[in-house]
Amino acid sequence: MGAAGVKLGVAILTMGTRPKELADLLASVHRQTLPAARTVVVAQGCEVPELPPWVETVRLAENLGVTGGRNVALAHLRDMDLVLDLDDDGLLVSDDVFATIDTLYAAEPELGIVGFRIADETGVTQRRHVPRLRAADPMRGGLVTGFLGGAHVLSQKMLNQVGDWPDAFFFAHEETDMAWRAIDAGWRVRYAPQLLLQHPRTSPARHAFFYQVNARNRVYLARRHLPAPLVPVYLGVWVVLTVARTRSLGGLRAWFGGFAEGWRTECGRRKPMRWRTVWKLARLGRPPVI
């Protein structure tokens, strides 16, 4: 337990394809000077090797995606004050990560989400991993409008107010969905670069259905959260950017297929953000049209 008895739970999803990386991550979790109260590993439709006795293993019959798997982990960690999500191929380099998390939340009662800095083995942070515009300096922290899925902390009080992950997303943009709901409810999202997760350099396009879910979930975001006048602006901007950036004809076909799917499939309850939230996002550097 940290300050005032605050309990931190750790949630890790795995598909069973990275046993060595998972073992290394768990070892780095166990080395923390301020221990986690509980650690849960969710096995998504796979078998996992025997894990240390202090790890709780939850085995699912199928892969529920990032959102479904994280919601299963949250259901097992309801008694925690804070929940830390970690990618199973990440590594906590420092042993004071949990102590720093505890200090951040103790100092800021309105803090809902804390995002980590992610860097590869050489210490380089990819531009797409800095959750703000003007991303040249990954060491500049502060309040932001989004966070990284690979390593972040969620306040249980915030979750009780805004709800869990959107199951329909499976993966892609679920962090934006959570951040918009949190900010609209009055919570803060902070990028804390002193919290480091070492993670192999990757591209989101490595997933075969990346283009499809990327487009579908952008439509879901607009349908769920944007005031009506901003929906065509937001989606229009992303149509133009996608056409300009995508060099693969197959990728474009998949993207527009996902775009159509986003309109005809169920995405959950619509609750447009308030206009003052739109202004707050704009003041933080990323209005909800880009």
pLDDT at 204 over 80: no
pLDDT at 35 over 60: yes
| Alpha-carbon span 210 to 122, nearest angstrom | 26
Polymer length in residues for the chain: 290
- Mean pLDDT for the chain? 93
Confidence at residue 140, expressed as pLDDT on a 0 to 100 scale: 87
In contact, 106 and 8? CB cutoff 8 Å: no
How would residue 46 be classed by pLDDT, with cut points 50, 70 and 90? very high
Q: Does domain 3-202 have CATH number 3.90.550.10?
A: yes
Confidence at residue 3, expressed as pLDDT on a 0 to 100 scale: 56
How would residue 208 be classed by pLDDT, with cut points 50, 70 and 90? low
pLDDT at 202 over 70: no
Share of the chain above pLDDT 90, in %: 81
| Alpha-carbon span 278 to 288, nearest angstrom | 7
pLDDT tens digit sequence for 150-166: 999 999 999 999 999 99
DSSP 169: G
Three-state DSSP state, 59: strand
Report the pLDDT averaged over residues 256-283.
96
β-partners of residue 185 are: none
How would residue 127 be classed by pLDDT, with cut points 50, 70 and 90? confident
Confidence at residue 59, expressed as pLDDT on a 0 to 100 scale: 96
Confidence at residue 213, expressed as pLDDT on a 0 to 100 scale: 95
In contact, 155 and 85? CB cutoff 8 Å: no
Confidence at residue 133, expressed as pLDDT on a 0 to 100 scale: 75
Confidence at residue 265, expressed as pLDDT on a 0 to 100 scale: 97
pLDDT at 190 over 70: yes
Share of the chain above pLDDT 70, in %: 96
In contact, 40 and 58? CB cutoff 8 Å: yes
Tokens of 100: 């720093």
Residue 25 Cα distances to 88, 125, 171, 255, angstroms = 7, 19, 22, 34
Confidence at residue 205, expressed as pLDDT on a 0 to 100 scale: 53
- Residue ranges of alpha helices (H) inside the chain are 19-30, 65-76, 97-107, 156-162, 174-184, 210-225, 230-245, 249-264, 275-283
The domain locations on the chain are 3-202, 209-273
Residue 20 Cα distances to 56, 103, 120, 206, angstroms = 18, 31, 17, 21
pLDDT tens digit sequence for 72-97: 999 999 999 999 999 999 999 999 99
- Closest CA relative to residue 145, chosen from 120, 172, 112: 112
- Closest CA relative to residue 67, chosen from 176, 210, 166, 151: 166
